[in-house]
Structures are given as structure tokens and as C-alpha cells.
Amino acid sequence: MRSTQQFSITLPNEMADAVRAKVASGEYATESEVIRDGLRALLARDQAVERWLKDEVAAAYDALKELGLANLVAVGLAKREEVIVTRDRPAPIALAANHPSLLLLQRVRDEAHRFAVTFQRHARRQRDLRSGLDEIAGIGPRRRRALLETFGSVAGVRRASREALSAAVGAKAADAVLAHFAREC
């Protein structure tokens, strides 16, 4: 019994030329190998979209259900392939690149990504700006900035003398800084 079947296909001229060029360059021995590799790539892409559908879009449906919003429809837009997937439809929906519905979904996706990236950058910046000086009572943003500008780092503040600290932020704040670092040791 044969494990393959013979098919005849019709290709647009530019695709047929590309297939012939791959054979002529020696990259492939026959035109059928080129077509077979192309079909394998399409099958792999479809399988990847199906896995993504199960993992990502199904999780979104589960979250909607938990919120009591199971009646809403969730869709996913695969980035590179630009195909639309839903839980209720086994095959992805492929729209023309200039279709108004696809353009709207792309804008929504891009805005959601922009919002998420902006939020993450802000959160990282806030986290990175935190220092050991934030925990000291009586040291607010202005005194913290003054200490860091004067001594360069938290380690520099830790090594500073009482007189140097007093000159930078005052005697009371200097005592608070020294007491804080004495408790840490």
C-alpha cells in the first residue's frame, strides 16, 4: 500500500517561478520536494495556531467565565500570520490584509500591547528607583535626592560621618539615617 498520493496543483505564475528557481538553484532536487516542504510548513503553522488557541484563547474564555461574562466572545489575533482565532471555530479566520475588520483588530491589539509595555516600564522604573533610604522615617523624596546627590549612593550615605550628613539634610534627619543603618548592622 502506498503512503503517498499524487495530486495535480495549479499555482500562480510567480509561485511556479519560485518553485522552479529553488530546483534550478540545487536547493531541491524536484518540484514536488518544494511543494512538500511548503505544505509541511503550512501544517506546522496550523498546528502552532491550534496550540496557541487552546493555551491562550481558551484561558481568556475561562477568565471571562469566572467573571460571569461567559456570554462575551473572545478572539485572538495571531501576530505573524494575522489570522483570527476563536474557541467556537476550529479553523482560524484569514481576512485580506486590508480588510477593515482585520485593521480594527490589529489596532486594538497594538494599543493593548502598547498599554501593557508602558505599564511594565513604569512599574520597573518605580521598582528601580526604590532604595534603602526609602525605609528611613523622616527621609522623603527631597532628602533622599539630596543624600544621593551628595554621597553618590546608599553605600556612600552609609559611610558618611554625622557632620557630613547634617550638612546635607540637617541634624535630625542625619540622626535618623545613622540610627537606621546602626539597626541594620
166-176 tens-digit pLDDT? 999 999 999 99
Q: What average pLDDT score do residues 77-88 get?
A: 79
Backbone angles phi, psi at 23, to 5 degrees: -70, -45
- The whole-angstrom separation of Cα 43 and Cα 35 is 12
In a domain, 164, yes or no: yes
Predicted local confidence at residue 106, as pLDDT: 92
Q: List Cβ neighbours of 77 (8 Å cut-off, separation of 6 or more).
A: 83, 84, 85, 105, 106, 109
Of residues 16 and 163, more confidence is placed in: 163
In a domain, 149, yes or no: yes
pLDDT digits (tens, 9 = 90+) for 98-108: 999 999 999 99
In a domain, 173, yes or no: yes
In a domain, 176, yes or no: yes
In a domain, 109, yes or no: no
Instruction: Give the pLDDT band (50/70/90) at residue 86.
Output: confident
Predicted local confidence at residue 93, as pLDDT: 85
Beta bridge partners of 77: 84
In a domain, 146, yes or no: yes
Beta bridge partners of 75: 86
Cα 156 to Cα 130, 151, 180: the distances in Å are 16, 5, 14
pLDDT digits (tens, 9 = 90+) for 34-61: 888 888 888 887 787 777 767 778 888 8
pLDDT digits (tens, 9 = 90+) for 2-12: 677 777 778 88
Q: Locate cell 502598547: which residue?
A: 114
pLDDT digits (tens, 9 = 90+) for 108-162: 989 999 999 999 999 888 776 667 788 888 888 898 889 989 998 888 998 999 9
Predicted local confidence at residue 1, as pLDDT: 60
Q: Is the pLDDT of residue 185 over 70?
A: no
* Identity of the residue numbered 154: V
- The whole-angstrom separation of Cα 40 and Cα 37 is 5
In a domain, 179, yes or no: yes
179: domain CATH number? 1.10.150.20
Cα four-point dihedral sign 28, 34, 40, 45 = positive
Predicted local confidence at residue 2, as pLDDT: 63
- The whole-angstrom separation of Cα 171 and Cα 155 is 19
Structural domain count, the chain: 1
- The whole-angstrom separation of Cα 95 and Cα 104 is 12
Residue 136 domain boundaries = 130-184
In a domain, 113, yes or no: no
Predicted local confidence at residue 46, as pLDDT: 77
N residues, the chain:
185
pLDDT digits (tens, 9 = 90+) for 12-36: 888 888 888 888 988 888 888 888 8
